A and B are shown apart, each in its own frame.
Chain A
Amino acid sequence: MKRLVAFAVMWVLIVGLVMGVTIKFWTAPNPLQEEFWKPLVEEWNAKHPDIQIEWRTIPAARSSEEAILTAIAAGEGPDICTNIFSGFAAQLAEQDQLVDFAKEFGVDFWILVGARRMENIVEGWKLGDHYYVIPIYANPMVLRRRQDKLQELGFNRPPRTYGEIYELAKKYANPPERFAMIVLKGRNWWDRWFDFISFYYAASGGKPYIDTAAGKAVFNNEYGKKVAEFIYTMFKNKWTTSDWGKVFPLANGKALGSLMGPWSLNWAKENYPEVYNNLWISPLPVPDDYPEGKPVKTFADTKGLVMFKSCKYKEEAFEFIKWVFMNPVNDARWIEITKMPPARGDLATNPLFAKYMEEDPYFAAYAREVGNAVPPALITNTIDVQEAMTTFLTEPLMYLKATPDEALEKAVKEINKLLW
């Protein structure tokens, strides 16, 4: 028997080598996503000895984008790659590096879109008339809070407005040991998605922060002002801080709430079960005059899959993509492992996913917000724009170096220079 298995493995390898169809496939460097992809790739490779997938995670670097770019420059880039955010896809498309799925695969692409009920979702990723990205997941940002501690403080529901958060802060904050919540995430350019842009979407009902058609920033409006005022007030009163140390602040009670995506749910479950069992998941805080009952919009951290033009075996690569994404069982497994809502239009209606919606209240809370989640502005210089947002808006507010109005005006002016 052993000999037979060895022979079969050898045969598969030899056929694979002789036929020579190898597709380099990179996925996010995230243990949970690795757990999802590993058996799938193994299954495909065993079933398709003539089309072998050479799978690896995106090499370690400060960001996936850097790793991918360096690899492309060295001629070692992937054929297909996941974990691509819209701005990076726009950058790569501008350089004519990506395959337009609709143009290359025509009907086959639309069959895939139809099978996942992604008709509306792909429209959000459209660049001009091109479909360069197959959306994989959409993570809505929500506010996670310590239910037990809030109840001890007399809150029987999560604070909804800025005013209620100020109330909570007055009762709880005692710097440098305790703060109300994490307001700003850090100084990486991508952190702005998870603080200012998320807050802005919530306050404005999902209005754009950049007018992409006119090529200018528009967040110096009444909504942007309210958000900037909120951030400033929290830092001015020392109800939040910029330095949270190395321990998860929700675990040691240093903060009672934080904006978080679903990707860290399973991580929290494993590392901080006492926090995981005491979570309140709620929409983002809104200005005091925001109507109660009106849906609160939030930021969608969406990632997708792209195919590079350098891919020699496009048809074969697309076969693999279809094999993975046409099968909803894989989506169910994805939810189970990663807790991230897959980019499907039938999450709430497909009976295959009902189990997760019923059994896991946290996943359900995230899945419910998918409809309220707005993707980022589709621009090619996302990094520069958000770096300017950090330098001229969030950091001056954090260090009380400018008033909210001054910071907003300066940030918009600087970003407009970049967009012009």
Chain B
Amino acid sequence: MITRRRLKLRETLLGWQFSGIYLLYAAIFWGYPFVWMLILAFSKWNYFGSPRFIGFRNFTHMMQDSIFWRVFLNTMNFMAYFIPMVITAAFLFALALMKVRIFRTFFTLSFLVAYVSSGVGYSILFSNLFSETGPVNNLIYKFTGKTIPWFSDPQLALFSIALMVTWKFVGYYGLILFAGLQAIPKSLYEAAELDGANNWVKFWKITLPLVNPALTTVLVFAINLTFGIFTEPYMITGGGPMRRTLTFMMYMYTTAFQRMKPSYASTLAIATGLMSYGLVVLVRKLIEREVSLT
């Protein structure tokens, strides 16, 4: 009896030892900032002194803040460009990978290079490439006599950034979709072929429904990414032209560190988190289907 109790205690201790490291880490780097953010969102604080409780005033201010609504529209606009582009490109990449028999790992890794490159590095590269006097515009000018204001036109700038982010994530999302595609049993296609289905029918009736879990994952990732975008617009456009590339992350950052309003920045962070979460729930509800491959 004593031995069993001792054993249980030892196991409990061992369990705490394993999970303790993570719990401590989460408490310091996640729990503490999270609680601090909640406190700040309901108070007024300017880095100095102690926060003063002001109830929901930061939230009511946010509702009347024209910049907040501008950023909201920018985010929706970005999503309208980014999600169809990245899903289509990643799907094509995954389908192409299925067809490739040799050098598959090489192609996969080549696309993943974009995903692991430094945001600051490729932002500088792209801003030079696509600047008014950059090589891309020089080439276009030679043939058409015109240049394209990639980053200086209010509407085009957001699209250009969406294009860059798509380039970065095609490899990663493509790989997720590729894994989804590989999981579909070949026998289903063979059975469909026997029934006389063409490629088009096979894609709509078998591939798309069965790749649903991977597709949902990619969609959720893409939505989260849209709400968290920072480096590219910060480095290239600085939020301009006319605040059209200003994102939630940038607005939070400038509010906290330039306008000296960390408490309002926390409110924005909470709102952004809730919006992103809400949209993910909605998308999952609309798109996600239970799929059984057995």
Contact = CB atoms under 8 A, between A and B. Distances in A.
Interface string B226-265: 0000000000011111110000000000000111101000
Given A91-B260, A399-B241, A72 B47 contact: yes
B131 interface: yes
A65 B257 CA distance: 8
Contact of B259 (A241, A383, A395): A383
Contact of A95 (B47, B133, B242, B262): B47
B47 A65 contact: no
Contacts of A91: 260
B220 to A, nearest CB: 32
Contacts of B134: 245
Contacts of B149: 243
B118 to A, nearest CB: 16
Interface residues of B, number: 28
Nearest to B150: A243
Interface in A223-259: 241-246, 254
Contacts of B241: 187, 395, 398-399
Contact of A390 (B48, B137, B240): B240
Interface residues of A, number: 33
Contacts of A391: 240, 242-243
Interface in B138-164: 141, 147, 149, 151-154
B201 to A, nearest CB: 48
Interface in A396-419: 396, 398-399, 401
A98 to B, nearest CB: 11
Contact of B260 (A69, A96, A401): A69
Interface in B1-58: 46-48
B288 interface: no
A371 interface: no
Contacts of B257: 66, 69-70
B128 A246 contact: yes
A45 interface: no
Nearest to A241: B132
A78 to B, nearest CB: 15
Nearest to B242: A395
A63 interface: yes
A95 B237 contact: no
A243 B132 contact: yes
Nearest to A417: B66
Nearest to A390: B240
Nearest to A61: B257
Interface string A59-103: 000010110011011000000000000000001000111000000
B152 A399 contact: yes
B28 to A, nearest CB: 15
Nearest to A91: B260
Contacts of A66: 257-258
Contacts of A114: none
A243 B48 contact: no
Contacts of A396: 242
19 contacts: A63-B258, A66-B258, A95-B260, A176-B137, A176-B141, A187-B237, A187-B238, A241-B132, A243-B131, A243-B133, A243-B149, A243-B151, A244-B132, A245-B133, A245-B134, A383-B259, A396-B242, A399-B152, A399-B153
Interface of A: 63, 65-66, 69-70, 72-73, 91, 95-97, 176, 186-189, 241-246, 254, 381, 383-384, 390-391, 395-396, 398-399, 401
Given A70-B257, A399-B241, 9 more contacts: A66-B258, A91-B260, A96-B48, A187-B237, A243-B133, A244-B132, A245-B132, A395-B242, A398-B241
